[in-house]
Amino acid sequence: MPDALLAAGLRKTYRAAVALAGVDLRVGEGELVGLLGPNGAGKSTLTKIAVGLVRPTAGAVTVLGHPAGSTAALARTGYLAELFRFPGWASADEVLALHQRLARSAGGARERAELLGLVGLAEAARKRVEAMSKGMQQRLGIAQALIGEPGLVLLDEPTSALDPAGRRTVRELLEELRGRGVAVLLNSHLLSEVELVCDRVVIVDHGRTIAVGTPHDLVSAGGVEIETAGGTQRFADAARGDVPALVARLVAEGEEIYGVRVVTGTLEDAYLKLVGKDAR
Amino acid sequence: MRLVLQDLRTIGGYALREAVRRKVLLVVVVLTICFLALYAFGTYQAFKEVSRGDGGGISGVEEEVLTGSTLLGLAMFVTLFLGTVLAVFVTLNAVRGDAERGLLQPLVVRPVGRTTLLLARFLAAAAVCVIYVQIVYWSAVVLTNATGGYYPGHAIAGAVALAAAVTIIVAIALLGTTLLSSTANGIAIFMVFGAGLAAGLIGQIGTALNSDTLEQISSIATWALPFEALYQDGLHALTADIDGVTGVIVQLGPFGGSQDAGPLLYPFALVYLLAAGWLADRAFRRADL
């Protein structure tokens, strides 16, 4: 089976500005990959190239074995843009019906009802877009991206306008998609969310891939803290496996041990270490 | 092919629904009813004045014919202007505007193709504008006939010319929307329309002054903007049968000179339309959204 998304040596320049400087990326079938990076790192450009909205300067992208942007590729791709809008005069049901026709989906009213239910908009089928909150519109955007049972879904900041309950809905939805074998490329700034649901994480910065791995791989150990009678002692370079030896040594030195904590880092720590803390 | 036709219908229907729901068409319909009511009143009054016949007219001039053809020339000019306004509003955001607002991207990522998307927008806009100018034009013809008994020669040729002219304007507007933002495109199209009108007036002045240079400038400009040449040709078709002094006065009418453009006008207009369509499609397919 071909990869859901395969990008090789992807470059994109806008006159003098380099958006992508040779990115390689692979999303396997049914894999959930998080795409991270600071503002202007090239994440949105990469996803836009994958759906044919932007033409690459060099390099190649295939979607499920078809050239990105081709009719065959688009027929199997769902996409939610970072900045999108649906016509205010249309109802949620009308928006989905339009996209069903364009995506050649035969799902009909049943698919529309199922998708609206999936994103928590079952009661808003007849509600006009202009009367919806931003969060509701974002949920509708996600439903729209899932029309026609795509093999690859690209979500560019899908939770930026959602409240915590909405984020949880999206998280559950992503897990559901994974269960169905749908590959997802999730472009998000919410690192905790990515850490929770993604199989792999790709971090890009200045148009280049700077780290790839599972969230577990990328998260470094944060040391060991041992609570003794004299206070908490911190061993920054120690890992879980070092705990017995450390405890034995401290006891041998006459310390009384009251507690041991293995400190693990977060994806956020790893991310900030890789891209730096300067805001852009 | 079946899928392309289905896509054309879907996107065309979407564009039409948008025009209806955004109340663009409602505003146009209300304003058009106002214009036609005013036109009917004005025409009625004008014919009433002429029929009194106090003997102050120019010798040899058929006053009913002069009145009827001049008023119909006015109607034709206003019809093209209103058609241009409508063309600008239904195509204003079609590409760049909708892309800037994020409305276009969800459609472009569907397996439809940008060419089909653009063609559908063109067909929908052209259909709306052509139907609209036909309704206004034929309403004016009927009102002129009902109030003064005047019916132009070759009325159908005038209608065809208007339909072709407004189709060209839609194509130019759609080309503009692939290159310019909404406001810039709207301004540009009205300026292009104004340039065409100015070209027609320069031609009239050239004829009156017997200036070959002015006539040549007008001729080149009207062919560069063939909606003006089509308008002049349509106007000529309406008044071609009028002879004598009345014919001379009517030919110099106040709403742009009527000119028989010859048999090459329509083939040229078709080539122009295809060229504008090709340029718009090329620009749209190369655009990063």
CB spacing of A53 vs B289 below 8 angstroms: yes
What is the model's pLDDT at position A240? 81
- Name every residue whose Cβ is closer than 8 Å to that of residue A133 and which is 6 or more positions away in sequence: none
Provide the 8-state DSSP code for A255: P
Q: Is the dihedral of CA B39, B44, B47, B53 positive or negative?
A: negative
Provide, as residue numbers in chain B, all residues whose Cβ is less than 8 Å from the Cβ of A89. 17-18, 21-22
Please report, for residues A146, A176, A177, B7, B95, the alpha-carbon distance to residue A103 in angstroms, rounded to integers and kept in the order given: 10, 21, 19, 10, 20
Q: Look at strands A58-63 and A66-67 and give their pairing.
A: antiparallel
- Which tokens sit at B109? 């990522």
What is the model's pLDDT at position A277? 63
Domain ranges across chain A = 5-216, 221-264
Q: Is the pLDDT of residue B263 over 60?
A: yes
The answer to whether B162 touches B134, Cβ cutoff 8 Å, is yes
Q: Which of A53, A71, A98 sits opposite B10 (nearest CB)?
A: A98
- Distant-in-sequence contacts of B26-33, Cβ < 8 A, 24+ apart: B28/B82, B28/B85, B28/B86, B28/B89, B28/B132, B31/B82, B32/B82, B32/B132, B32/B135, B32/B136
Of the candidates B275, B49, B54, the one whose C-alpha atom is nearest the C-alpha of residue B174 is B275
Provide, as residue numbers in chain A, all residues whose Cβ is less than 8 Å from the Cβ of B14. 98
Q: What CA–CA distance (Å, rounded) separates A1 from A7?
A: 16
Query: Which chain B residues have any C-beta within 8 angstroms of a chain A C-beta?
Result: 3, 6-7, 10-11, 14, 17-18, 21-22, 101-103, 105-113, 286, 288-289
What is the model's pLDDT at position A6? 94
**Tens digits of per-residue pLDDT, A85-137?**
999 999 999 999 999 999 999 989 999 999 999 888 999 999 999 999 988 99
Domain ranges across chain B = 2-48+63-286
Q: Is the pLDDT of residue B125 over 80?
A: yes
Q: Band of the pLDDT at A280, cuts 50, 70, 90?
A: low
Shortest alpha-carbon distance between residue A117 and chain B (Å): 21
How many pairs of residues across A and B have Cβ atoms under 8 Å apart? 67
- Name every residue whose Cβ is closer than 8 Å to that of residue A141 and which is 6 or more positions away in sequence: A80, A81, A84, A86, A158, B106
Q: Among B109, B115, B289, pick the best mutation site for testing chain A contact (most A Cβ within 10 A).
A: B109
Q: What CA–CA distance (Å, rounded) separates A234 from A117?
A: 49
What is the model's pLDDT at position B66? 84
**Tens digits of per-residue pLDDT, A209-267?**
988 988 888 887 678 899 998 889 988 888 888 899 999 999 999 989 999 988 877 88
Three-state SS for B104-156 is: CHHHHCCCCCHHHHHHHHHHHHHHHHHHHHHHHHHHHHHHHHHHHCCCCCCHH
Helix, strand, coil shares of chain A, percent, nearest 5, are: 35, 30, 35
CB spacing of B105 vs A84 below 8 angstroms: yes
Q: Band of the pLDDT at B256, cuts 50, 70, 90?
A: low
- Name every residue whose Cβ is closer than 8 Å to that of residue A6 and which is 6 or more positions away in sequence: A25, A26, A27, A61, A62
What is the model's pLDDT at position A195? 85
The answer to whether B139 touches B148, Cβ cutoff 8 Å, is no
Q: Which of B21, B111, B112 sits opposite A89 (nearest CB)?
A: B21
What is the model's pLDDT at position B57? 62
Q: Band of the pLDDT at B22, cuts 50, 70, 90?
A: confident
Strand ranges, E, within chain B: none
Q: Band of the pLDDT at B29, cuts 50, 70, 90?
A: confident
Q: Is the pLDDT of residue B128 over 60?
A: yes
Share of chain A above pLDDT 70, in %: 98
**Mean pLDDT of the A158-180 span:** 86
Q: Which of A72, A101, A144 sits opposite B106 (nearest CB)?
A: A144
CB spacing of A52 vs B108 below 8 angstroms: yes
Report which secondary-structure segment, H or E, holds A232.
strand A231-235
Provide, as residue numbers in chain A, all residues whose Cβ is less than 8 Å from the Cβ of B11. 102
- Mean of the per-residue pLDDT values of chain B: 88
The answer to whether A226 touches A260, Cβ cutoff 8 Å, is yes
How many separate helices (H) and strands (E) can be counted in chain B? 12, 0
Shortest alpha-carbon distance between residue A180 and chain B (Å): 22
Q: pTM (2 decimals)?
A: 0.84
Superfamily of domain A5-216: P-loop containing nucleotide triphosphate hydrolases (3.40.50.300)
**Tens digits of per-residue pLDDT, B178-205?**
999 888 999 999 999 999 988 888 888 8
